[in-house]
């Protein structure tokens, strides 16, 4: 995972973090670190539980090493990335920071802010336990700069079966056109919220699923190549469909983040939400951090409309910044994040599947069992919003275009802005 309006907030947050963590100093003696500061945006239900489980395991294996959780709240890392950019610019890096594997990390790599991890992979035998396509995605000019912790699916439709039954809908929509018809039926027959969204980034997240649903896997993947044509009729239809779909959301949706939007579905207030599979951990984990809901009764899932057979994927990963104050601690954390045990502790709570191929599959049931099977058998497309295919500049320009659309509701202007962004930003 930035917006201009966060600049002042980010500056305040940076100041607080620097005071709280004492980031300016390193290990002056050069001896083994007794501290590690890990920066992430995992503060919400599910993700915070998964991080806590991994941290407990880290502490058990690294007695005497103080773990500093420098997490910043905000879905998809929207606020955390602004804070991180300021820290890196001021040469005050955390010891390790979260980033989405793929194009999102290119700016840090090109700026010389990350150490390559080729020797780390070799020393820990990681090349044989990560999928080849994942390693290819995180390799830049022959080097690897991050350690993936998990695999998420972006294109998931979560729905309340009782509301669909009330609206006379027999099952989840298989196409974008069918989805629009179902939203109309929910509004007309139930009075419930047809589609629940949250903060602006959840509209960006919805957009990528609509593009994939209308364009198909090959058409969607082609959008992220240099010279791609965003002005064509298929993109026009997809953006018009996006505008129609968005008209069935609530006007107050922007006041909440993804958790509130997802909660509307499992509490029977809304029929649908399109959100990544981290929502599963939030739904099923016990209180107080989870909702303790029952799959099949309180919610069901399917691939987002028109995308069955394609896994729109993303991967959370951790890095080794150049100048990390506690480099030994950072290496120890990367070992935890890349380990089979660490990933098996983290993913079931987070609502993801492990990045490693040797995970204990018995731990992944319900939605996660389905995701395991889908990852092995479906086509792959990279999430643009979650950093796989779009670099940070392109990501920001798309977000700006969506923000303007949310004000003017003009799909034509949205397309022209996206055409310009693709010409200017495609790497």
pLDDT in tens, the chain (427 residues): 433 333 333 333 333 333 333 333 334 333 456 899 999 989 887 788 899 999 999 999 999 999 999 999 876 677 888 899 999 999 999 999 999 998 999 999 999 999 999 999 999 999 999 988 788 878 899 999 999 999 999 999 999 999 999 999 999 999 999 999 999 999 999 999 999 999 999 999 999 999 999 999 999 999 999 899 999 999 999 999 999 999 999 866 666 789 999 999 999 999 999 999 989 988 998 888 789 999 999 999 999 999 999 999 999 999 999 999 999 999 999 999 999 999 999 998 888 999 999 999 999 999 999 999 998 888 889 999 999 999 989 999 999 999 999 999 999 999 999 999 999 988 6
Give 135-139 contacts, CB < 8 A, sequence gap 24+: 137/101, 137/102, 137/315, 137/382, 137/388, 138/101, 138/102, 138/105, 138/315, 138/317
Domain membership flag for residue 402? yes
Do residue 352 and residue 396 come from a single domain?
no
Same domain, 166 and 295: yes
Q: Quickly count: other Cβ atoms within 10 Å of residue 304's Cβ.
A: 29
Residues 6+ apart with CB under 8 A from 112: 322
- List, in sequence order, the alpha helices (H) in 62-190: 78-89, 106-110, 118-123, 132-137, 161-166, 176-190
Within a domain: 377: no
If asked whether residues 139 and 169 sit together in one domain, one would say no
Q: Which residues pair with 67 in a beta bridge?
A: 36
Is 177 contained in some domain?
yes
Q: CA–CA separation, 96 vs 319, rounded Å? A: 5
Q: What is the DSSP letter of 321?
A: B
- CA–CA distance, 282 with 276 (Å, rounded to integer): 11
Residue 376 lies in a domain: no
* Full domain range(s) for residue 322: 4-151+317-371
40 and 143 co-located in one domain: yes
Helix 327-338 / helix 47-61 crossing angle, nearest 10 deg: 120
The pTM score is 0.83
Domain presence at residue 380: no
Q: Are strands 379-382 and 310-314 parallel, antiparallel or unpaired?
A: parallel
Distances (CA, A) of 87 to 31, 81, 84, 120: 25, 10, 5, 25
At 198 the pLDDT is 92
What CATH number is given to the structural domain containing 329?
Answer: 3.40.190.10
Residue 317's φ and ψ, nearest 5 degrees, are -145, 170
Q: What are phi and psi of 277, to 5 degrees?
A: -75, 0
The answer on 420 and 363 residing in a single domain is no
């Amino acid at each position: 995972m930035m917006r201009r309006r966060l600049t002042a907030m980010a500056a305040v947050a940076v100041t607080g973090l620097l005071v709280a963590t004492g980031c300016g100093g390193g290990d002056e003696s050069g001896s083994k670190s007794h501290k590690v500061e890990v920066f992430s945006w995992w503060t919400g239900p599910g993700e915070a539980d998964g991080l806590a489980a991994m941290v407990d395991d880290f502490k058990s294996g690294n007695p005497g090493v103080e773990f500093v959780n420098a997490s910043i709240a905000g879905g998809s890392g929207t606020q955390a990335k602004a804070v991180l950019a300021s820290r890196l610019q001021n040469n005050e890096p955390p010891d390790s920071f979260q980033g989405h594997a793929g194009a999102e990390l290119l700016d840090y790599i090109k700026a010389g802010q990350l150490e390559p991890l080729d020797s780390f992979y070799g020393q820990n035998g990681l090349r044989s336990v990560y999928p080849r396509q994942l390693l290819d995605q995180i390799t830049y000019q022959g080097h690897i700069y991050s350690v993936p912790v998990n695999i998420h699916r972006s294109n998931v439709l979560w729905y309340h079966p009782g509301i669909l039954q009330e609206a006379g809908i027999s099952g989840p929509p298989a196409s974008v056109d069918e989805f629009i018809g179902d939203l109309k039926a929910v509004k007309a027959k139930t009075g419930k919220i047809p589609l629940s969204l949250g903060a602006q980034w959840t509209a960006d997240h919805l957009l990528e699923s609509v593009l994939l649903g209308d364009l198909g896997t090959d058409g969607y993947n082609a959008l992220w190549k240099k010279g791609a044509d965003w002005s064509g009729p298929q993109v026009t239809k997809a953006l018009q469909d996006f505008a129609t779909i968005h008209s069935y959301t609530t006007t107050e949706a922007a006041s909440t983040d993804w958790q509130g939007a997802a909660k509307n579905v499992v509490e029977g207030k809304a029929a649908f939400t399109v959100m990544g599979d981290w929502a599963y951990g939030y739904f099923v984990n016990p209180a107080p951090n989870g909702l303790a809901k029952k799959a099949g009764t309180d919610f069901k899932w399917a691939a987002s409309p028109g995308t069955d057979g394609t896994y729109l994927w993303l991967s959370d990963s951790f890095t080794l910044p150049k100048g990390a104050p506690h480099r030994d601690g950072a290496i120890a954390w990367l070992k935890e994040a890349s380990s089979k045990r660490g990933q098996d502790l983290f993913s079931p709570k987070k609502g993801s599947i492990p990045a490693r191929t040797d995970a204990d599959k018995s731990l992944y049931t319900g939605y996660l069992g389905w995701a395991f099977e889908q990852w092995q058998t479906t086509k792959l497309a990279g999430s643009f919003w979650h950093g796989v295919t779009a670099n940070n500049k392109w990501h920001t320009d798309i977000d700006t275009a969506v923000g303007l659309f949310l004000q003017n509701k003009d799909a034509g202007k949205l397309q022209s802005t996206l055409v310009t962004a693709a010409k200017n930003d495609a790497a």
